[in-house]
Structure 1
Amino acid sequence: MKNLILKNLNGRKIIILFIFTNIIYSFMMLITIPKVMDYAGGMKILDIIPNGYNFEYVNSLLHALGSKGRHAYLYCQLPIDMIYPLFFGVTYSLITAYILNKLNTLETHLFYLCYVPLLSGLCDYLENIGIITILNRYPENSIISAQLTSIFSVAKSIFTITSFIILTLLLSVFVIKFFLKKKTST
């Protein structure tokens, strides 16, 4: 994995991935997620509940969605959300590695920070698999399916937030070092 990350530390490639990743994200947030939520009368879909949910909420949501809403969730939202985690994980892993490289700390233990976005993507996939299972088994869902899927939703949120905190801190250090270097050279 490390060699793959190191081999792809190219600014142009990272910018293209960043743009594409955020186009996918924007499409979901502006089109597919609101479309599915409309079927549910505005109830939040499971993908966007960062603090988890319980069995009762899952059943209420699936009931409110109706068959058309469940179909839209399964065949409109989730196919796109099966692409997004890969792009999120790879893109933000590469951005983290790129900044670490600029800080001359990529070859240290800090390299492991590059794995945090990948963990977010993995949890997103596990969440999606859980949601697909729940949608396909409705109305015969189990409490365990809802609980496991909720755990993956929370883990995805934790790793995503952690990824952005790491990036914010690394960018702050980079900017501070840049201005300090500029100040000492003048």
Structure 2
Amino acid sequence: MTNSFLSKHIGTIAVGSGLIAASIYVLMVNVTLAHIEAVSGQIPFDMRPSGYGPIEAEALLDALGVDGRGYYLSHQIALDTIYPAMLALTMVAAICWLGRYTPNRKLFRFCVAFSAVGALFDYIENLGIVAMIWSWPEVSVPLVYAASSATIIKSVSTTLAVMLVLLMGLNWVRLSKADLHP
């Protein structure tokens, strides 16, 4: 793809990947994560932005049982393999599109970095969850803390990226209104 193609179609890429990411997110929250919570009576790892410790991890994994742990792997992790990439693509495309109207290149770079870090640590979180499920009932404490740390970093980075995109969007709206009413 050439830069002119991307420049012309970046908004379409942002909307298209955003619709895919939003659809997957709604499916995860309303189906897979809801099922995991219903089966276990516990909040899934993915939905604990402040992390968890070994006692909470053991309680969730135990409460899930064999079928619930299998469901986590086959349904939730499967969807969460696509979601981080789609969210990052959405964020970066939106940032590139809105970044054309933002004179602050540092804000642009931070936004891209937070999006990439959020996706990277979402994948690390997923690997940690898979490793905990596979090693059950012998889950190591360092593994739990590593997966929990990835969850926290993912949550913080993604939140910052979303906030920065929203700020860039508000800046674009402000500049658009200023252009209409000189």
* TM superposition score normalised by structure 2: 0.92
- Alpha-carbon offset, residue 14 of structure 1: 2.0
1:33-90 CA distance string (max 9 Å, x none): 111111102x100011000000000001111111111111111110110111111111
Q: Distance in 1 between matches of 2:5 and 2:49?
A: 33
Cα distance in 2 for partners of 1:82, 1:16 equals 18
Relative to the length of structure 1, the TM-score reads 0.90
2:16 corresponds to 1:16: yes
Query: Matched residues in 2 for 1:5 and 1:39: separation?
Result: 48
Aligned equivalent of 2:67:
68
- 1:48 and 2:62 matched: no
Match for residue 39 of structure 1? Answer: 39
Report if the CA contact (8 A) 2:121-2:153 is conserved: yes
Q: Tell me how far apart the structure 1 counterparts of residues 119 and 61 of structure 2 sit (CA, whole Å).
A: 24
Q: Distance in 2 between matches of 1:127 and 1:32?
A: 17
Number of equivalenced pairs: 179
Distance 2:164 2:39 in 1: 36
Specify the SS of the correspondent of 2:52: coil
Return 111-120 or 159-168, whichever deviates more: 111-120
Stretch moving more, 21-30 or 49-58: 21-30
Give the Cα separation in 2 of the matches to 1:23 and 1:152: 24
CA distance in 1, matches of 2:102, 2:36: 45
**Residue among 123, 142, 165 paired with 1:144:** 142
Match status 1:111 vs 2:108:
yes
Q: Give the drift of 1:24.
A: 0.9
CA RMSD of aligned residues (A): 1.9
1:111 aligned partner, one-letter code: F
Residue identity (%): 24
Partner of residue 95, structure 1: 94
Shift in alpha-carbon separation, 1:4–1:89, aligned structure 2, 3 A: farther
In 2: Cα distance, 1:153 partner to 1:95 partner: 24
How far off is 1:8 after superposition?
A: 3.2
Work out whether residues 124 and 150 of structure 2, in 8 Å CA contact, stay in contact via their aligned partners in 1: yes
Alignment of 1:83 onto 2:70: no
Report deviation, 1:96: 1.0
Gaps of 5+ in 2: none
